[in-house]
Amino acid sequence: MAPRFDLIGMVAADMAATLAFYRRLGLHFPAEADTAPHVEATGPGGMRLAWDTVEVIRSMHPGWEMPADGGRVSLAFRCADPAEVDRVYAELTGAGHPAVKEPWDAPWGQRYAIVADPDGTPVDLFAPLSAPDAAAG
């Protein structure tokens, strides 16, 4: 049996700010998670996202420092349609999250935008530009 891809782990410099960002993208966490040292969310199909505080990581790797430039991982959230890409992008950037790339129609047939979470992790927002062909399904 081969290992199964199961979890994407990230480090949160500010757990409450990080979870607030991902709540805006539809993930659900109890209020008490904002002060927890380790938080997980399970998505469709059982894929898990996990965040640990800097202190948790340092307890496993003494002397570890959070990279200043972000970009340690990238996540993508599929939106229902191109208008939702624009709406979510506007909501997140309007809430003060850094814009990485404004919404655009990508040559691969998707409406795409990129924002950064509170730790500088790029988060892609995307949706197909046109509805899938029902006959192809």
Q: Is residue 76 assigned to a domain?
A: yes
Are 48 and 5 in contact by the 8 Å Cβ rule? The answer is no
Please give the residue range of the domain that contains residue 66: 7-136
pLDDT mean values, one per 10 residues, the chain (137 residues): 78 95 93 95 86 87 79 82 96 96 91 91 90 50
Q: Is residue 115 assigned to a domain?
A: yes
The pLDDT value given to residue 137: 43
Q: Is residue 1 assigned to a domain?
A: no
User: Which CATH number covers residue 122?
Assistant: 3.10.180.10
The pLDDT value given to residue 71: 60
Are 93 and 109 in contact by the 8 Å Cβ rule? The answer is no
Domain count, the chain: 1
Q: Is residue 125 assigned to a domain?
A: yes
Global pTM reads 0.75
Q: Is residue 130 assigned to a domain?
A: yes
